[in-house]
Chains A and B, each alone.
Chain A
Amino acid sequence: MSRPAVLAARLRTAAWLGWQIEANWADPFTFIVYSAVRPLATALILAVMYRAVAGIASSGQAFLGFYVANAFHEYVIRVLVGMGWVIVEEREEFETLKFVYTSPIGMFTYLWGRSSVKFVQASLSLLLILTTGWLILGLRWDWGAVRWLPLLLSFVLGLIAIVYFGFFVAGWALVLPRAAISVNEGVAAALTLLCGVIFPIDLLPRAVQVVAMLLPFTWWYEALRRFLIGHGASARLSSFSDGALLAALAVSTALFSCVSVWGYGVLERRARQNGKLDQARLF
């Protein structure tokens, strides 16, 4: 068997296992409802917040950008944070992490395969949120004005950043048994705030804005808004041309990915040295 065929087989196995773990506790209908209810509720919170102030607020136009970014944020919540949860489940809940390590699949391939199921879930959530916004909440944009090529490029770059940062979060989960749940939740909450998902980063303190601009996700959300609905959300980032925006996204993604792979290696070694790979402390 060739190396790509072996890799594909391993990814497929990890994805299949991931699907079983994610979904086999319920019948398909219950699982679909369960998967849809959280992202839909979050989107509806935003929509009702906007409706509550629509008559008196002055920046209604910006809301569409926040809504769209919140829909794409599903990838961060499901895939990136989900990779940290894989470690928690395998080590603490099912106590099977040691078996993954002793199998030939390799942790990177395993995490990658598991994340593919989460990618599908996130994509369905994205579609659900955008469709609800379009059909029920009247949050629409001009399809003719969509710039498909840069949008697709931005989307792919963002996904690369998400998957690689997911490895890093998984690495942290390896060295922090018991606290890993808090790390996972914290990453989700912190990225929502730092990357200006539902507000422009201009509202953050200046020093925090600098941190935000080091993160690829900040550029990702801005690029997705600009190329999908025609305008961004941040006055500061709007001074960047399309090319500069994409370049910033590409460079930050490349740097982030390198640091994440290196960081995962360091953290995994530390987890092995300290005997934490099999240290179930939660239950």
Chain B
Amino acid sequence: MSPARADGRPGDLALNLRATWGRMYVRVVGSAREPTWIMSDAVFPALSMASFVLLYRALGAPRSFESLAVLGGIMATYWINVLWGMGAQLYWEKQSGQLQLYFIAPCSRMSILTGMALGGIFMTTTRAIFSIAVGFGLLGVRVAPFALAPLLLVFVVTMTALYGLGMTLASLFLLYGREAWHVCNALQEPVFFLSGLYFPLRALGALGAVAAGIVPLGLGVDAMRQVILGPAARGWLPVRVEVAILAVLAVVFLILARASLRYLEALSKREGRLTQRWQ
């Protein structure tokens, strides 16, 4: 193995893979260790989803809308994880005094973020099972049999784009303190709205198109609904087109994350804010 380089360039592949595994391991193991976090990650989004499903029921909407809301509710858990488990993670680390350890490690920062993302996806998927149980079990929402392979493909592309955005957000929060917390707070419900999590994306019209070009969640949810529900999903664009756009967004966000991480790390070091707590 080549000697480790502090900037984590490609020559350190084995080291970076180990760092990715190490950061992912923490999340995988930790996901079962904090019961209250299981509650907040799994149960509470399911409660909100149930409210929206019951709203459709109260309005006398066709049952397919309830399926839309359940799928949106499941995907909401991933957006919450991207915001708080990716975006704000470096803020948490800064507050707990651990951020400097990331920076004295010889691996790439991107490998750490990748581990965080993979662990986050695993952790959130285990949480999403509860939403699936509430939606399809407790609330009695039903979907017809569907092809699993296309769904997995769409899911993987969506997660890559979504967590790429999360990595970019994480780099932004290297610089900021309390603002990071408030930005995460401010981004939660508006993105639920702009991504059409609880209604068909095309109901937003042009606004949905603009939002879909910025946050990949809406396109991902729309594509997954089309795979699962078919025409009842009232999809916006053909699935192939949505997957292609998501793939482009994934590449763009990963490149952006790498660039912004380098830039903001240097900036926050210069301004002495990298390890500054209680900003």
Cβ–Cβ < 8 Å partners of A193 in chain B: 47-48, 50-51, 54
Check: B2 CB closer than 8 A to any chain A CB: no
Chain A 21-50 near chain B by CB (<8 Å), digits 1 or 0: 000011000000010011001101110111
Residue of B nearest to A183 (CB): B36
Which one of B44, B55, B92, B189 lies within 8 Å of A41 (CB-CB)?
B189
B3-11, B15-23, B177-185 - the one binding chain A: B177-185
Query: Cβ of B96 and Cβ of A283 under 8 Å apart?
Result: yes
CA distance A64 to B138 in the complex (A): 27
Query: Cβ of A45 and Cβ of B189 under 8 Å apart?
Result: yes
Query: Cβ of A199 and Cβ of B47 under 8 Å apart?
Result: no
Interfacial residues of chain B within 155-199, with CB under 8 A of chain A in the complex: 178-179, 182, 185-186, 188-190, 192-193, 196-199
Cβ–Cβ < 8 Å partners of A192 in chain B: 47-48, 51
CA distance A45 to B50 in the complex (A): 15
Residue of A nearest to B279 (CB): A25
A54-62, A102-110, A116-124 - the one binding chain B: A54-62
Which one of A42, A57, A60, A282 lies within 8 Å of B189 (CB-CB)?
A42
Query: Cβ of A189 and Cβ of B58 under 8 Å apart?
Result: no
Cβ–Cβ < 8 Å partners of B96 in chain A: 283
B195 nearest CB across to chain A (Å): 10
Cβ–Cβ < 8 Å partners of A179 in chain B: 36
Query: Cβ of B56 and Cβ of A53 under 8 Å apart?
Result: yes
Query: Cβ of B278 and Cβ of A94 under 8 Å apart?
Result: yes
CA distance A42 to B196 in the complex (A): 12
Question: With A178-B36, A189-B44 in contact, do A49 and B55 touch (Cβ < 8 Å)?
Answer: yes
Chain A 53-83 near chain B by CB (<8 Å), digits 1 or 0: 1001111101100100000000000000000
Query: Cβ of A44 and Cβ of B193 under 8 Å apart?
Result: yes
Question: With A45-B189, A53-B61, A189-B48 in contact, do A182 and B40 touch (Cβ < 8 Å)?
Answer: yes
Query: Cβ of A25 and Cβ of B178 under 8 Å apart?
Result: yes
Which one of A48, A182, A283 lies within 8 Å of B39 (CB-CB)?
A182
Query: Cβ of B58 and Cβ of A25 under 8 Å apart?
Result: no
Cβ–Cβ < 8 Å partners of B196 in chain A: 48
CA distance A51 to B59 in the complex (A): 11
Check: B62 CB closer than 8 A to any chain A CB: yes
Cβ–Cβ < 8 Å partners of B57 in chain A: 199, 203
Query: Cβ of B55 and Cβ of A37 under 8 Å apart?
Result: no
Residue of A nearest to B203 (CB): A52
Query: Cβ of A57 and Cβ of B190 under 8 Å apart?
Result: no
B49 nearest CB across to chain A (Å): 10
Cβ–Cβ < 8 Å partners of B43 in chain A: 186, 189
Question: With A49-B55, A56-B61, A57-B61 in contact, do A186 and B44 touch (Cβ < 8 Å)?
Answer: yes
Cβ–Cβ < 8 Å partners of B198 in chain A: 45, 49
A73 nearest CB across to chain B (Å): 11
Cβ–Cβ < 8 Å partners of A52 in chain B: 61, 65, 199-200, 203
21 residue pairs A–B, Cβ–Cβ below 8 Å: A25-B178, A26-B182, A38-B190, A42-B189, A42-B193, A45-B199, A48-B203, A48-B204, A49-B59, A52-B61, A52-B65, A52-B200, A53-B59, A57-B61, A60-B59, A93-B95, A94-B278, A186-B39, A197-B51, A199-B58, A283-B92
Given contacts A26-B179, A178-B36, could you give 4 more A-B pairs where the C-beta distance is less than 8 Å? Answer: A48-B204, A182-B40, A193-B50, A199-B54
Measuring CB to CB, which residues of chain A are less than 8 angstroms from any residue of chain B? 25-26, 34, 37-38, 41-42, 44-46, 48-53, 56-60, 62-63, 66, 93-94, 176, 178-179, 181-183, 185-186, 189-190, 192-193, 197-200, 203-204, 233, 282-283
